[in-house]
């Protein structure tokens, strides 16, 4: 199978190459794709070096699958060109997520919505992926009425410019190229992505809109606050859930334990609960601090953690590709 990774030299692109190898995805021909300034640069994949090619050359090569992680403007322009030559595009940007004609997919949650005809498939936002992984099995059982979400998101979610800013601040350098308006080292910024007219950020509204689309439940009431934190390892989320139907906490724990891709870590007597440091470089979503919200009827609190570069981006994209291959659609 001929596989192209668009944005292969970036932070997520590097992890995508790693996950493709680890998952033993049947790549027979690998094609790293990046901007013109990176053309000819050598990148490693499965023990071999490959020369980076540009987007036009990649389209001409007609890969079976193109996994994009190169930003919304690149995806908007080039994903249709790949689709026109028969390539299945799995796009990690926000470009196609809320397009009513495109599927927004977390395979464990809603892989069933995919068909052979889907040529551009959207990978959800990192914070949304780990959220719906934990909520979907509970929603099926108890029906979610309302969500209050607070996120604690790694600076790695903003890419290499944010990593460079963090390291420069940590090393007390004087010439710092800032991607954030304030220091991120030893700081927290309630500012993920840009502010919108409603005073929420784009990241916060992604949690609202993408969650509703993936769960196929437009009436769930959702509010979110997204915070950027000086953590290299993963995103954490404090999630307050109000269900329509009553539940027993032990049943909730059992449902999560039996859900694919979720690991429950909830042993307070031994101080066992998820942390982003522990989740780093892992593909699963970790859930702990499972407890009833005693202030409302049918309320539940969860703490959800995952590596944002893996399950929150690269791993989920590769899992979509694996789903398509299993169905023999690619």
The b/e string for 177-201 (b: 16+ C-beta within 10 A; e otherwise) is eebbeebbeeeebeebbeeeeeebb
Q: Which of 182, 191, 235, 325 is catalytic?
A: 235
Instruction: Tell me which of 126, 182, 188, 191 is the catalytic residue.
Output: 126
Residue 265 backbone phi and psi in degrees, to 5: -125, 95
191 is catalytic: no
Whether 126 is catalytic is yes
> What residues are labeled active site?
126, 235
């Amino acid at each position: 199978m001929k596989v192209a990774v668009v944005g292969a030299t970036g932070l997520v692109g590097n992890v995508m190459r790693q996950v493709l190898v680890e998952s033993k995805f049947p790549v027979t021909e690998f094609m790293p794709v990046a901007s013109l300034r990176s053309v000819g640069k050598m990148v490693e994949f499965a023990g071999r070096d490959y020369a980076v090619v540009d987007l036009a050359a990649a389209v001409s090569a007609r890969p079976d699958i193109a996994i994009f992680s190169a930003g919304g403007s690149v995806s908007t322009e080039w994903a249709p060109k790949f689709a026109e030559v028969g390539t299945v595009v799995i796009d990690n940007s926000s470009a196609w997520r809320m397009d009513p004609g495109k599927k927004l997919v977390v395979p464990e949650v809603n892989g069933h919505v995919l068909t052979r005809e889907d040529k551009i498939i959207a990978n959800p936002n990192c914070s949304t992926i780990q959220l719906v992984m934990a909520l979907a099995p509970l929603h099926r059982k108890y029906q979610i009425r309302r969500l209050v979400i607070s996120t604690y998101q790694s600076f790695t979610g903003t890419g290499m410019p944010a990593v460079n800013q963090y390291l420069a601040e940590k090393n007390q350098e004087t010439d710092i190229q800032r991607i954030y308006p304030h220091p991120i080292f030893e700081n927290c910024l309630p500012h993920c992505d840009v502010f919108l007219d409603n005073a929420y950020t784009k990241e916060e509204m992604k949690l609202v809109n993408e969650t509703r689309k993936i769960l196929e439940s437009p009436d769930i009431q959702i509010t979110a606050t997204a915070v950027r934190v000086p953590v290299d390892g993963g995103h954490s989320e404090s999630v307050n859930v109000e269900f329509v139907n009553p539940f027993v906490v032990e049943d909730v724990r059992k449902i999560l334990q039996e859900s694919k891709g979720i690991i429950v870590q909830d042993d307070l007597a031994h101080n066992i609960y998820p942390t982003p440091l522990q989740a780093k470089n892992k593909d699963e979503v970790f859930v702990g601090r499972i407890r009833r919200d005693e202030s409302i009827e049918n309320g539940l609190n969860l703490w959800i953690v995952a590596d944002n570069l893996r399950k929150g981006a690269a791993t989920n994209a590769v899992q979509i590709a694996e789903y398509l291959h299993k169905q023999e659609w690619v």
